[in-house]
Structure 1
Amino acid sequence: MKAVVMAGGFGTRIQPLTNSRPKPMLPVVNVPMMEHIMKDLVSLGIEDIVVLLYYKPEVIKNYFGNGERIGARITYVLPEADFGTAGAVKKAQKYLDETFIVVSGDVITDFDLREIVGFHEFKNSKLTITLTSVSNPLQFGIVIKDKDGKILKFLEKPSWGEVFSDTINTGIYVIEPEVLDYIPENVPFDFSKDLFPLLMEKGITLYGFESEGYWKDVGNPDAYREVNSDILNGNVKLQIPGKAVKYPEGILFLQGDVKVPESVRIKGTVVLGDGVELGDGTVLENCIVGERSRIGRRCKLKDTVIWEESTLGDDVSMRNCVVCDRVDVGSRVSALKGAIIAEKVKIEDDVRIEKDVVIWPEKFVESGSIVSSNLVWGEKWKRSIFEGGEISGRTNVELSPELAAKLGAALGTTLPEGSFVIMSRDYHRASRMIKRAFLSGLLSTGVNVIDMKKFPKPAMGYVLKNNGAISGIHFEASSSVPGHNDIIFLDEFGIRIDTAKEKAIERIFFREKFRKVGPSEVGIIKEELYGVEEYVKGIKERIDDKIKQPRFNIVVDLMNGIFSDVYPELLAHFKVNSIVLNSYESEEKLMQYPTVKSKSLRDVPKIVKSTSSDVGFIIHPGGERLAVVSDSGEVIGNHLLLLLFLKTIDDALDKRVKAYVPVSCPSVIDESLKKVNIERGKFRGISQRLLKEYFFIGDLEGKFIFPEFSFSPDAVYSSIKFLELLSFSGKRISEILSEIPEFFFTHVIINCPLSKKARLMRKLSEEALERRASFIDGVKIFFDGDWILFIPDQFTDKLHIFVQSVNEERGRELLESYRELVSNWIEGKE
């Protein structure tokens, strides 16, 4: 039997620990991670190991050499490009002429590899996947198998809405060599995304073995700290190298020539590398110190990992920290709430490092400094700074001008030099401040800017779709959290950027590998190349001037948003009689959005009813969300509003069209629609190519898109388009609503800790297998005329539950029965 060790990853999420070494070479108890797994392979009796390289290959080659030191023959394979996991193994096919095991070089595990191989042989399997259960499966491939171990379903790196299990693919495979014939040459090809579906299509049974024991993917700094802590606390069956010396309060492992003064206290488990020097009176508790590092006198270190050749002065206090190679820390430095100090950092005396600070390579911190800004990443931004194509943070706290400039430089580095980016903002002064800082960072990378200045976000979407630029960035005061600002990133079609583009920006941002151009290549600024007039002109060209109903009487609340000048002009052009409220700018009201919204929802229905108007519109400040009041003076709930749009389109058009809605959209009118074909799916990551196929896209938040005009939600265009469609239908809103069958619909949100989400979705998936179900987005279970849908929130510890039923009694009963079931599962009750 042979083995393949995957050791080619970039280690982006674990930056800056991987600044100068690949992730598999990060030290764990002073031994490279991949050495632990390679020694396990050798103990299995494997003599031939193929190591697949890519990022910093020379570091791995120089350390392991030909493999003689660990008792193996190592063959190195370096693909000329990134061909994916399976594609990389294909490059080693000529060395793999018998059964082989594939393992990742960047995990720590104490799985019994003999059991995995034995299961593979017992099942006479062509390919066996090693499985385990985790609390957060988002970075892995999730799997469902039957009681015999046959793989039934899997999905690579799901969103929370796609999670149907907490059982994941660990990346440990046992494979027969003929399987490699199914992998194409010289093209990107992954195991989970490409090879596994192909094999199942070919009728080849894949087996999964759920292994018991410890397994952790060391994918980020927190995981790195945790895995070292787990080893020191005895949670992993891993032999710590070195001579064990017992102390009254702990045990010390000496990995070479180390002299420990009698005054040094050892608590818990401590590992010291060769040549370590310790000062008198120092206390070490659950610590690892690498070769040739020096710790001064009276230091207090707990749960801390120090790499090679670093120096700490006297009276240094650290807890839950990682100190990388060749760091120089002065005296009386404290970091008691966790810190990552990257290689070659110099910190002078009397410095205090605040919670969760990351100090990047080769930085200098002056004496007496308090390191709390600029390099402080809050809990929210530890794993990702993006949420759905936007970045949101407290103004001048997380979202400071310094950070905005770095974000601009990170975006610019991902774009071609000389390309154009369109930028816009709302009228709040904080948005202007953040935008100007971002713009400076962007220009520094040689990217040009078309500065629209104060400009509506939906209009930006229109400009991008119809005029072209490589990207668009919009800045606005948050409508959901007072005191926050949002930065929205749009692609060349006006669609929020996808996760691939987010990760590309994050990779540059966290590594601080910004492109810097010379003075003559700095980007230029063109101001207002496209004005709001072009947006207004676009609406006028696409809406029928000859609205059949001569006059609409409407009430509009613009909520002091950015469309205050635009909307009245459009209403006048289309000869709509209107009462327009709050059509002026007010920074104060922008920051009091919840109060302004509540007042609008009270006032507009009263005015519609008292004036016998045909409709009331509420345009939320950002211009994306629309609320509608019927001619009877009732605020139409978001789920009914979506159905109203679909029904009005069906009544108005004389041709068949397609509409795209979320899985949570009520289905009570599906069969009655004659012109509209409804498709349901996920909204994150929809491509421009797919959007073009639809006449209408709508969600349950009052955001509507008509791709004939734009690929972005646009409350202004949607409201004017609705008037056009309403006039073509010849009906009043109340009449259309009366044609929708009565039904019960509710949306409730319950707390669900992140650590419980995956297990909960697995239990729901198992429950759903007993009935008709859908797994397009979350888990949707169907009953006779009813359904219940569970979607974990993508960004918070919440679970969304949607219920549709023929009446309220049945709906409430269904909701409560499952809410009790879900609560028991969250609490760990079966």
Structure 2
Amino acid sequence: MKAVIMAGGEGSRLRPLTCNRPKPMVPIANKPVMEHIIELLKKYGIKDIAVTLQYMPEKIKDYFGDGREYGVSLKYFTEDVPLGTAGSVKNAEDFLDETFIVISGDALTDINLQEALEFHKKNRSVATLVLKKVECPTEYGVVVTAPDGKIRRFLEKPSWGEVFSDTVNTGIYVLSPEVLKYFEKGVVFDFSKDLFPILLKKEEPMYGFVTQDYWCDIGDLDAYVGVHTDILDKKVNININAREIRQGVWASEGAVISKEAVIKPPVLIGKNSVVKDGSILGRYSVIGEECHIGEGSTTKRSVLWNSCILKNNVELRGSVLCSGVKCREKTAAFEGTVVGENCILGENSLIKPGIKIWPEKHIDMGTEVCTNIVWGSRYSKNLFGSRGISGEVNVDITPEFASRMAAAYGAVCKKGSGLAISCEEVDALKMVKNACVSGVLSTGTEAYDLGTSLLPVTRSAIRYYNLSGGIHISEGNKKGKIIIDILDNKGRNISRNEERKIENCYIREDFARCQAEEIKAVINVPDHKVFYIRSILNHTISEIHDLKIALIAPSGDLKNIVTAVLNELKCRYEFVNTKEAHDKQKSLFSDLKTISQVVRRGGFDVGVYFANSYDKIFLIDTKGRIIADDLYMALISYIHLKSKAGNKVIVPLNASTVIEKMAGDNKERVIRTKTSAKELMNRILDDEFDENMLDFFAMNFDPIEAFIRIIDYMAISGTSLAKIVDSIPDFHIIKKEVKCSWSAKGKVIRAIIEENSNSVETIEGVKVVGDKGWVLVLPDAEKPVCKVIGEGYTQEFAHELTDIFVDKVKTISQNKIT
């Protein structure tokens, strides 16, 4: 039996741990993680090992040599350029003349390889994937198997709405050599994205072996610290080259521990390290080799690599110190801090929580470090939420943050790109906008400064000037909160893949800044709203809009644009006065009630409440009915379907099925997509750009243009809004939320799919279709809840269906993973 260790990982998310070494050489319990993998293979008699290399290959070769010192034989295969997981193994094809194991060199595991091999042979499989049930599957490749283990489906790094199982791919495979014949040498090819789907399509025998043993993908800094906790808690069976001198205290050869030191287990102390009088090694401390812990110094939940020196009275809490770090007297570093190799922390310096310091830095005496020592801003793991980036001004979103975020966006754009930048009419937002302009310019990207603008106007400007994208800053729902929308070349909010690129670039902090002579002048675009207004008017069809309209609008800019358009259309209109309330929910309810009464009593044809300046709109008909949310989606779908023969509508999975009814016999005119606004934007304005779909995009995401298109349709058809709404068939949708921990979400969806296997749709979450209607169970991406949305043929059926699945989610989520 032979094996392949994939050791080409760069480990960018682990920086600064990986600044000076490849990921497989990052130490776990005082030895490189790859050494633990070699010991595991040797334990099961696998000694002929190929090692695939790409990033810093000499570091690995110099350490392990030919493998003789470790009781194995190592043969190295180096990629000049990254070839993907399968492409790298293909390089070793001549070496792999029998069934072999592929295992990652940068994950920690103690799995029983013999059991996996026997499972492979028993099923006569060409490819056996070792699988593991995990609590949070969104960072892994999810695998769905039949009861006999045969693989049915793959999904790489799903969103919560795509989580169909809690069983994930560990990246450990048992393979027959013939699988390498399916692709050519030297091409970029991945096991999970490319090879396994081919084998699945060709119905080759491919199985998943679910291990109960320990496995941890050390993908980020939290996982790196967490794996040491698991080792000290004896959750993983590995050799740590130390003797347990008393319960929970492991010390390696040559370690010197003062009798006056306090050791609180579990603790690991490396070879030849010295722990001085009065020092305290708190729980889950891991001390490397040749370290020196001075008098009065304390550590807790911290990992020190080799040759670290803590002078007297140093305090470490939840920190990682790379090799050769020197902490002078009274230094302190707190939760989540990472200090790169050979740094010197000056006397009385303080490293705030979450700070990363790159290698070879010298922190002066008495310095309080509250920004990363690279470009000068704090670490943030996830920038984007369900809609753009949100936070509090000068707390979460500072000028420094905005500048670096914008620079990260500029860095991922193609050379010569131009980005529109705008904000609403608020001084704090102007500050953030100016910082974004500076960040974009610093990467050599052109900045088109639109000044103060509304989001729909900025979307329009991006298309009008043929730009690569844009950044718009607007007020959030709470005082002091702001939202930054990052837009692509069609004015859509960028996709999750593009968000990840920006996040990775931002977190790594190593993107290139341009030379001084490459910085472009700012291009000022002071009043695009003139073109925006003209574009709306040019798309109206009716020549006469004899309508009386009642309006509520939140901002001066929005009022000015709406007024300009309605004046051109010769409409009569009045703005309704409202009472300002501190509670926005109460204010919304009160304002809607007010405008509803005004429309009914004042002889108005229609009322409109622009709840914000980006996408939320409420319409009121002559009966005082409020058209919003599901009914609004049905309304705009009705108008778009009726406006032109052959028009298609793209609606989210949770929209009512009455939309298909309205399409009549041509149900293919209704296309379903995932529920997020980003997915809807992406599908409406896909690569096959259609002018008619731009109209439907505006009706979904531009409240001003949407309203004008609706009243234009009313004028063309000579029909009141009330009659249009009456034409829409009745429907009954109930929406609820039920608490569901992050760890239970995958289990919930898997269980519902298994229970309803013949009547489910899995575009997103799981949609169960039955005789009484349908129910969608959708894990929330930002909160520990599941959304349960049900539509019934009657209101009673809708309540009944929704309640049944609320109870199911509660029951499944409260049981342990099985």
TM-score higher than 0.5 here? yes
Evaluate the alpha carbon distance shift between residue 736 and residue 185 of structure 1 in structure 2; reply closer, same or farther with a 3 A threshold.
farther
Change (3 A) 1:589 1:347: farther
**Paired residues of 2:419 and 2:470 also in contact (CA < 8 A):** yes
Aligned mate of 1:460, from 458, 461, 480: 458
The AA in structure 2 aligned to 1:569 is A
Q: Tell me the residue number matched to 1:718.
A: 706
Aligned ranges for residues 319-468 of structure 1 at < 5 Å?
Answer: 319-372=317-370, 383-388=381-386, 390-468=388-466
Q: What percentage of aligned pairs have identical amino acids?
A: 32
For the 8 Å contact 2:280–2:296, the answer to whether it is kept is yes
Q: 1:438 to 1:711 in 2, by over 3 A?
A: farther
Q: Deviation at 1:19?
A: 2.0
Among 249, 252, 262, which residue is 2:259 paired with? 262
* 2-structure distance, mates of 1:483, 1:715: 24
Give the count of matched residue pairs: 808
Q: Which residue of 2 aligns with 1:706?
A: 695
DSSP 3-state at the match of 2:50: strand
Q: Is the 8 A contact 2:640 2:649 kept in 1?
A: no
The verdict on how the C-alpha distance between 1:768 and 1:188 changes in structure 2, with shifts beyond 3 A counting, is farther
Conserved? CA contact 1:464–1:472, under 8 Å: yes
1:486 aligns with 2:475: no
- Residue 52 of structure 1 is matched in structure 2 by 52
**Match in the other structure for 2:300:** 302
Alpha-carbon distance in structure 2 between the residues aligned to 1:367 and 1:589: 52
**8 Å contact kept, 2:276–2:295:** yes
Match of 1:612 in 2: 603
Post-superposition CA distance 1:48-86 (Å, at most 9, x none): 222222222222222222222222222222223333222
Aligned position for 1:94: 94
* Structure 1 residues 492-524: Cα deviation after superposition (integer angstroms, max 9, x where no partner): 221222233222222222222132333322232
Distance 1:177 1:121, change over 3 A: same
Q: Is the 8 A contact 2:86 2:191 kept in 1?
A: yes
2:523 to 521, 526, 537: 526
SS at match of 1:565: helix
CA–CA separation in structure 2 for the residues paired with 1:688 and 1:673: 17
Contact 1:127 1:206 in 2 (8 A): yes
Q: Answer yes or no: is 1:647 the counterpart of 2:626.
A: no
1: CA distance, partners of 2:752 / 2:592: 37
Instruction: Pick closer, same or farther for the CA change 1:447–1:331 going to 2, 3 Å.
Output: same
| CA spacing shift, 1:61–1:496, aligned 2, 3 Å | farther
Aligned to 1:793: 780
Unaligned runs of 5+ in 1: 698-704
Q: Distance in 2 between matches of 1:725 and 1:396?
A: 45
Aligned pair in 2 of structure 1 residues 53, 580: CA closer, same or farther (>3 Å)? farther
1:670 matched to 2:660: yes
* Residues in 2 aligned to 1:406 and 1:672: alpha-carbon distance in whole angstroms: 48
Q: 1:545 to 1:78 in 2, by over 3 A?
A: farther
Single out whichever of 383-392 and 167-176 deviates more from structure 2: 383-392
2:650 is equivalent to residue 660 of structure 1:
yes
In the alignment, structure 1 residue 117 sits paired with structure 2 residue 117: yes
Shift of 1:406: 1.7
CA distance in 2, matches of 1:279, 1:17: 27
Select which of 566, 574, 577 maps to 1:579: 574
Q: CA deviation at 1:132?
A: 1.0
Offset from partner CA, 1:745-799 (integer Å, 9 cap, x none): 1111222221221111211221221x41100011000111400001111222221
Q: Structure 1 residues 427-436 or 84-93, which shifts more?
A: 84-93
The answer to whether structure 1 residue 735 and structure 2 residue 727 are counterparts is: no
**Structure 2: how far apart are the matches of 1:245 and 1:798?**
43
Tell me which moved more, 294-303 or 450-459: 294-303
8 Å CA contact 2:738, 2:809 repeated in 1: no
Give 1:150's aligned amino acid.
K
1:476 and 2:483 matched = no
- 1:61-210 equivalences under 5 Å are 61-210=61-210
2:289 alignment counterpart: 291
The alpha-carbon deviation at position 714 of structure 1 amounts to 0.9
1:534/1:596 CA distance change after superposition, 3 Å: farther
SS state of the match for residue 301, structure 1? strand
Q: Is the 8 A contact 2:354 2:379 kept in 1?
A: no
Corresponding position of 1:701? none
Single out whichever of 139-148 and 167-176 deviates more from structure 2: 139-148
331-340 or 661-670, larger mean C-alpha shift:
331-340
Q: Which amino acid aligns with 2:767?
A: K
Tell whether the 8 Å contact from 1:560 to 1:589 is kept in structure 2 after alignment: no
- 1:232 is matched with 232
How far did 1:232 drift?
0.9
Deviation at 1:415, TM superposition (A): 3.0
**In structure 2, what residue type is equivalent to 1:36?**
H
Deviations 1:428-479 (A, max 9, x none): 1111111112222222222221111101111111121232112211112213
SS of residue paired to 1:292: coil
> For 1:60 and 1:415, how far apart are their aligned partners in 2?
34
In structure 2, the residue matched to 1:819 is 806
Which runs of structure 2 are paired with 1:744-823 in the superposition (5 Å)? 744-769=732-757, 771-823=758-810
Range moving further from structure 2, 102-111 or 114-123? 102-111
Structure 2 residue matching 1:452: 3-state secondary structure: strand
Range with bigger deviation, 318-327 or 223-232: 318-327
The 5-angstrom pairing of residues 687-702 of structure 1 reads 690=686, 692=688
Contact 2:124 2:205 (8 Å CA) reproduced: no
Contact 1:291 1:309 in 2 (8 A): yes
Query: Are 1:651 and 1:729, in contact at CA under 8 Å, matched by a contact in 2?
Result: no
Q: 1:567 aligns with which of 562, 578, 594?
A: 562
CA distance in 2, matches of 1:346, 1:14: 20
**TM-aligned CA deviation for residue 383 of structure 1:** 3.6
The match for 1:628 is 619
**Cα gap change, 1:233 to 1:376, in 2 (>3 Å):** farther
Residue identity matched to 1:681: T
Q: Deviations over 1:671-714 (max 9, x none)?
A: 342477111012445268626566777xxxxxxx626x769821
Tell me which amino acid in the other structure corresponds to 2:714: L
For 1:49 and 1:781, how far apart are their aligned partners in 2? 48
- Aligned amino acid, residue 33 of structure 2: M
**Contact 2:280–2:298, Cα closer than 8 Å, also in 1:** yes
Farther off after superposition, 743-752 or 363-372? 363-372
Which sections of structure 2, spanning at least 5 residues, go unmatched?
none
- The 3-state SS of whatever aligns with 1:9 is coil
Partner of 1:507: 504
CA contact 2:739–2:786 (8 Å) conserved in 1: yes
CA distance in structure 2 between the partners assigned to 1:232 and 1:4 by the alignment? 28
Aligned counterpart, 1:538: 535
Say which SS state the counterpart of residue 168 (structure 2) adopts. Answer: strand
What is the root-mean-square deviation of aligned Cα atoms in Å? 2.7
Could you report, residue by residue, the CA deviation over 1:656-685 in whole angstroms, capped at 9, with x for unpaired residues? 111111100110241342477111012445
Superposed counterparts of 1:27-38, under 5 Å:
27-38=27-38
Alignment partners' CA distance in 2, 1:669 and 1:516: 50
